[in-house]
């Protein structure tokens, strides 16, 4: 032991000689010799048997009493920290990445739907004749019957749009500011005046229900439409 | 060889210790005794630095708690050192609170430290020192430095583990250990003369 210490010491001593100033904080002080020396001096060479016997007896008692099935508290968890943290941060980074992808996808998709639906609604509202006369023959019946759902099938979407706006109108009517937005102006315009909106809406609703009662392509389409109606509602508010 | 054997005392046994702890957690009392024999010297050395002569009693208390809570522990051999040192430290602080004893001797170390640089005897002083002398030196350090030195050097914990035992930031503990060891080195460099007597060899400075 002494041999080893002095062996290792020479190397350490040179480095650390002038009061150990040479070694950095990582090397902790005056080099390995001092540390080894301290450790050797502070740690008793032999363990007393009595203490061991007591500890083992306590262990046995705890084991037999089932104390060793106790739950691990935070302060009892001494598993290597850094690795866990790296793994966790890696996982966090990954999930963040995935989440951002997903959110980005959703946002992109939403951009698409609101874009197309506002197209549809602007088309619908731009020509009041279409919305006031939904019973007119559809210029493109094939697109309505194609059943893509996503495709702007004009008549039902316009009707739904109007219906949704009418519903929303009832809620917003009390708020003067909201009615100044473009969507509401269009609705009012279509109805032919602010006071006529209620009647216009009622008429629309009647038509709508009558139409959805009919079997056929319209019905199939209206089944896929409530979501779109909502979208249109949103789009209208955005306007 | 000193480098290889030395780096962190106790680490050589960490594999064995981890295995013993794992078996003890499954109910093997012989394995628990093995773990005791591996860890107890380090704990006792640490506790001596804090509570002095009462270290044996405090260690005994600590082991009762360790034996009771062993099932809660999770970790390897090195982790077990840290965990048991934390328990021992809490028992020691309780003990000190009861005793109202400050484990500080603020006597002459500072004077010693301020003496002119060490002579060539710095080397020879480090051949070996007695437990009492080492104890006296360590307990002459400010408390935070003493504890940091003891945990790093005697218990053999790495920086983060020592910091966790002390409930401090690793940087603070590293600094404390560094200062403490530096101070001890200075003291040993001077006082070693009286202990061992000068030898002929040595790097004259």
The predicted-structure confidence for A119-130, as pLDDT tens digits, reads as follows 544 444 444 444
pLDDT of residue A94: 84
Please give the pLDDT value at position A84: 56
Name, of A7-21, A28-42, A48-62, the range with top average pLDDT. Answer: A48-62
- Residue B164: inside a domain: yes
Q: Which of B48, B80, B99 lies at the terminal end of a domain, its last residue?
A: B99
Q: How many domains does chain B have?
A: 2
Q: Check A29 against B126: CB less than 8 A apart.
A: no
Question: Nearest by CB to A73, which of B1, B72, B79?
Answer: B72
B41 → closest Cβ in A28, A43, A69: A43
Q: Is residue B202 domain-resident?
A: no
B92 and B140 co-located in one domain: no
Percent of chain A with pLDDT over 90: 8
Q: Indicate whether B94 and B140 sit together in one domain.
A: no
**End position of a domain, from candidates B74, B99, B124:** B99
In this structure, the answer to whether residues B129 and B50 fall within a common structural domain is no
- Contact status, residue A58 vs residue B63, Cβ threshold 8 Å: yes
Residue B104 located in a structural domain? no
* DSSP string of B39-72, one letter each residue: HHHHHHHHHHHHHGGGHHHHHHHHHHHHHHHGGG
Cβ <8 Å between A8 and B79? no
**Residues B180, A40: C-beta atoms closer than 8 Å:** no
Q: Helix or strand or coil: residue A26?
A: coil
Give the residue from chain B lying closest to A4, CA to CA.
Answer: B2
Most confident residue range from A27-36, A170-179, B30-39: B30-39
- The Cα-based distances of B193 to B125, B129, B188, B200 in angstroms read 6, 12, 8, 12
pLDDT at residue A197, as a whole number: 77
Please choose, from the candidates B89, B86, B95, the residue with its C-alpha nearest in 3D space to the C-alpha of residue B54.
B95
Of residues B6, B64, B129, nearest to A41 (C-beta): B129
Q: Does B106 touch chain A (CB under 8 A)?
A: no
Q: What is the pLDDT of residue B179?
A: 94
- List B74's β-bridge partners, or say none: A77
CATH number, position B86 = 1.10.1740.10
CB within 8 Å: A44 and B67:
no
| A77 beta partners | B74
Range name among A99-103, A158-162, B8-12, B162-166 with the lowest pLDDT average: B8-12
Count Cα atoms within 13 angstroms, Cβ side, for A59.
27
Structure tokens that stand for B103 in this block: 């484990």
Mutation for A interface: B49, B145, B185, most A CBs within 10 A: B185
A4 neighbourhood in chain B, CB within 8 Å: 1-2, 5
Which tokens belong to B174? 């590293």
pLDDT at A194: 74
A42 to B76: CB separation less than 8 angstroms, yes or no: no
Chain B: nearest CA to A89, how far in angstroms? 19
Residue B123 domain boundaries: 109-196
For the stretch B130-168, what's the b/e string if a residue is b when 16 or more beta carbons lie within 10 angstroms of its beta carbon?
A: eeebbbbbbbbbeebbbbbbbbbbbbbbebbbbbbbbeb
C-alpha distance from B129 to closest chain A C-alpha (Å): 6
Q: Give the domain CATH number at B133.
A: 1.10.10.10
Domain end position, chosen among B70, B99, B128 = B99
User: Do B124 and B95 sit in the same domain of this protein?
Assistant: no
Q: How many CB atoms lie within 10 A of CB A38?
A: 30
- Over residues A83-112, mean pLDDT: 77
Highest mean pLDDT among A10-14, A82-86, A94-98, B101-105: A94-98
What per-residue confidence (pLDDT) applies to A36?
84
A-B CB pairs within 8 A amount to: 230
The answer to whether B1 touches A7, Cβ cutoff 8 Å, is: yes
Q: Going by C-beta distance under 8 Å and a sequence separation of 6 or more, which residues neighbour residue B39?
A: B17, B80, B81, B84
Cβ neighbours of B46 in A, within 8 Å = 42
Q: Decide: A55 and B32 in contact? Cβ < 8 Å.
A: yes
Is residue B188, in this structure, part of any structural domain at all? yes
Tens of pLDDT, residue by residue, chain B (205 residues): 433 333 444 567 899 999 999 999 999 999 999 999 999 999 999 999 999 889 999 999 999 999 999 999 999 999 999 999 999 999 999 999 998 755 454 444 444 443 333 433 444 445 567 888 888 899 899 999 999 999 999 999 999 999 999 999 999 999 999 999 999 988 887 443 333 333 444 444 4
Same-domain pairing of B32 and B6: yes
Task: Assign A185 a pLDDT band (cuts: 50, 70, 90).
Answer: confident
Q: Which residue of A has its CA nearest to B136?
A: A42
What pLDDT shows up at residue A129? 46
Same domain flag for B48 and B117:
no
Is B116 inside a domain boundary?
yes
- The answer to whether residues B57 and B120 belong to one domain is no
More confident residue, A233 or A23: A233
Query: Measured between alpha carbons, how far is B86 from A32 in angstroms, rounded to an integer?
Result: 25
| DSSP-assigned letter for residue B153 | I
């Amino acid at each position: 032991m002494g041999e080893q210490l002095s062996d290792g010491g020479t190397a350490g001593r040179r480095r650390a000689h002038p009061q150990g100033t040479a070694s950095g904080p990582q090397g902790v002080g005056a080099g390995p010799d001092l540390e080894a020396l301290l450790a050797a001096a502070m740690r008793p060479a032999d363990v007393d048997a009595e203490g061991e016997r007591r500890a083992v007896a306590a262990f046995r008692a705890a084991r037999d009493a089932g104390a060793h099935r106790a739950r691990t508290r935070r302060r009892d968890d001494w598993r290597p920290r850094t690795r866990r943290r790296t793994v966790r941060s890696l996982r966090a980074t990954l999930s963040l990445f995935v989440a951002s992808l997903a959110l980005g996808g959703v946002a992109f998709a939403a951009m698409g739907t609101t874009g197309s639906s506002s197209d549809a609604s602007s088309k619908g509202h731009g020509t009041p004749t279409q919305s006031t006369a939904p019973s007119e023959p559809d210029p493109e019946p094939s697109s309505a019957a194609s059943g893509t759902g996503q495709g702007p099938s004009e008549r039902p979407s316009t009707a739904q749009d109007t219906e949704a706006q009418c519903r929303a109108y009832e809620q917003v009517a009390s708020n003067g500011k909201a009615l100044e937005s473009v969507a509401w102006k269009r609705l009012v315009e279509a109805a032919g005046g602010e006071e006529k909106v209620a009647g216009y809406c009622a008429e629309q609703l009647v038509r709508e229900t009558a139409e959805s009662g009919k079997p056929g392509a319209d019905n199939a389409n209206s089944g896929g439409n409530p979501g779109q109606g909502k979208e249109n509602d949103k789009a209208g508010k955005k306007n | 060889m000193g480098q290889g054997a030395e780096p962190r005392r106790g680490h050589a046994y960490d594999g064995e210790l981890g295995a013993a702890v794992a078996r003890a957690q499954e109910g093997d009392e012989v394995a628990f005794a093995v773990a005791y024999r591996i860890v107890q010297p380090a704990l006792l050395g640490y506790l001596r630095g804090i509570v002095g002569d009462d270290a044996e009693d405090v260690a005994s208390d600590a082991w009762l708690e360790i034996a009771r809570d062993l099932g809660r522990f999770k970790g390897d051999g090195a982790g077990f050192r840290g965990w048991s040192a934390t328990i021992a430290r809490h028992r020691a602080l309780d003990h000190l609170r009861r005793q109202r004893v400050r484990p500080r001797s603020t006597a002459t170390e500072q004077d010693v430290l301020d003496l002119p640089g060490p002579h060539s005897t710095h080397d020879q002083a480090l051949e070996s020192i007695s437990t009492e002398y080492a104890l006296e030196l360590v307990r002459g350090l400010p408390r935070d430095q003493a504890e940091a030195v003891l945990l790093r050097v005697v218990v053999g914990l790495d920086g983060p583990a020592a910091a966790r035992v002390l409930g401090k930031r690793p940087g603070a503990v590293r600094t404390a250990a560094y200062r403490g060891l530096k101070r001890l080195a200075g003291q040993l460099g001077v006082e070693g003369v009286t202990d061992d007597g000068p030898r002929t060899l040595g790097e004259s400075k």
